[in-house]
Structure 1
Amino acid sequence: MFSSSDIDATLSSAAGRSEHETPDFVVVDVETSCSSVSSICQVGIVGFKDGVELFEYETLVNPLDRFSPFNIRIHGITGDHVVDAPTFADIHAIVDGHLGGRVTVAHSFFDKGALGAACRIHDRPAIETRWLDSVRVAKRAWPDLPSHRLNALTKYLGIRHRHHDALSDARAAGLVVVRASEHTGIDLAGWLAPTRMPGGSAPKPAPAGPLKGERVAILGAARDGALARHLAAAGARVVASVGTTTTMLVVSQDQPFGRFFTAHADYRKAEEMRRGGAAINILTEDEIRHRLAPLPAS
Structure 2
Amino acid sequence: MKLPDSNAPFAPDQTAPAEQPDFVVVDVETACARVSSICQIGIVGFRAGQEVFAYETLIDPQDEFSPFNIGIHGISPDHVAGKPAFGAIHGIIAEHLTGRVTVAHSGFDKGALSAACRIGGLPFIETTWLDSVRVAKRAWPQLPNHRLNTLSSHLKIRHRHHDALSDARAAGMVILRAIEDTGIDLQGWLAKPAKPGKAPRAAETGPLKGQRIAILGERRDEALAQFLAAHGARVVSSVGTTTTMLVISTHQTFGRWAAAHAEHHKAEKLRDSGAAMEIVTEVELRARLLGNLSA
Normalised by the length of structure 1, the TM-score is 0.61
Within the candidate set 183, 187, 190, 1:189 is matched to 187
Partner residue in 1 for 2:65: 67
CA displacement, residues 196-233 of structure 1 (integer Å, 9 cap, x when unaligned): 15437xxxxxxxxxxxxxxxxxxxxxxx97xxxxxxxx
Partner residue in 2 for 1:42: 40
* AA aligned opposite 1:186: I
* AA aligned opposite 2:186: L
CA displacement, residues 126-172 of structure 1 (integer Å, 9 cap, x when unaligned): 00000000000000100111010000000000001100000000000
Q: 1:120 to 1:198 in 2, by over 3 A?
A: closer
Q: 1:118 Cα deviation (Å)?
A: 0.2
Within the candidate set 107, 110, 113, 1:109 is matched to 107
Partner residue in 2 for 1:118: 116
User: Does residue 175 in structure 1 map to residue 173 in structure 2?
Assistant: yes
The separation in 2 between residues aligned to 1:165 and 1:121, in whole angstroms, is 24
Within the candidate set 115, 125, 128, 2:126 is matched to 128
The separation in 2 between residues aligned to 1:49 and 1:175, in whole angstroms, is 12
| Paired residues for 1:69-84 under 5 Å | 69-84=67-82
The separation in 1 between residues aligned to 2:76 and 2:29, in whole angstroms, is 11
CA displacement, residues 161-199 of structure 1 (integer Å, 9 cap, x when unaligned): 100000000000000000000000000000000111543
Partner SS state of residue 118, structure 1: helix
CA displacement, residues 59-104 of structure 1 (integer Å, 9 cap, x when unaligned): 0000000000000000000001001110000000000000000000
Partner SS state of residue 132, structure 1: strand
Partner SS state of residue 103, structure 2: strand
Partner residue in 1 for 2:51: 53
CA displacement, residues 30-77 of structure 1 (integer Å, 9 cap, x when unaligned): 000000010000000000001110100000000000000000000000
Larger radius of gyration: 2
CA displacement, residues 219-278 of structure 1 (integer Å, 9 cap, x when unaligned): xxxxx97xxxxxxxxxxxxxxxxxxxxxxxxxxxxxxxxxxxxxxxxxxxxxxxxxxxxx
The separation in 1 between residues aligned to 2:158 and 2:82, in whole angstroms, is 30
Partner residue in 1 for 2:260: none
Structure 1: 5+ residue stretches without partners: 1-9, 201-223, 226-298
Partner residue in 2 for 1:295: none
Partner SS state of residue 145, structure 1: coil
The separation in 2 between residues aligned to 1:76 and 1:57, in whole angstroms, is 19
Structure 2: 5+ residue stretches without partners: 1-12, 199-218, 221-295
The separation in 1 between residues aligned to 2:105 and 2:152, in whole angstroms, is 12
Partner SS state of residue 164, structure 1: coil
* AA aligned opposite 2:79: H
The separation in 1 between residues aligned to 2:114 and 2:196, in whole angstroms, is 33
Partner residue in 2 for 1:99: 97
Partner residue in 2 for 1:151: 149
The separation in 2 between residues aligned to 1:199 and 1:76, in whole angstroms, is 44
Within the candidate set 190, 196, 199, 2:197 is matched to 199
Partner SS state of residue 73, structure 1: helix
The separation in 2 between residues aligned to 1:62 and 1:148, in whole angstroms, is 30
Cα RMSD between the aligned structures?
1.7
Partner residue in 1 for 2:86: 88
Q: Percent identity?
A: 68
* AA aligned opposite 1:30: V
* AA aligned opposite 2:41: V
Q: 1:123 Cα deviation (Å)?
A: 1.1
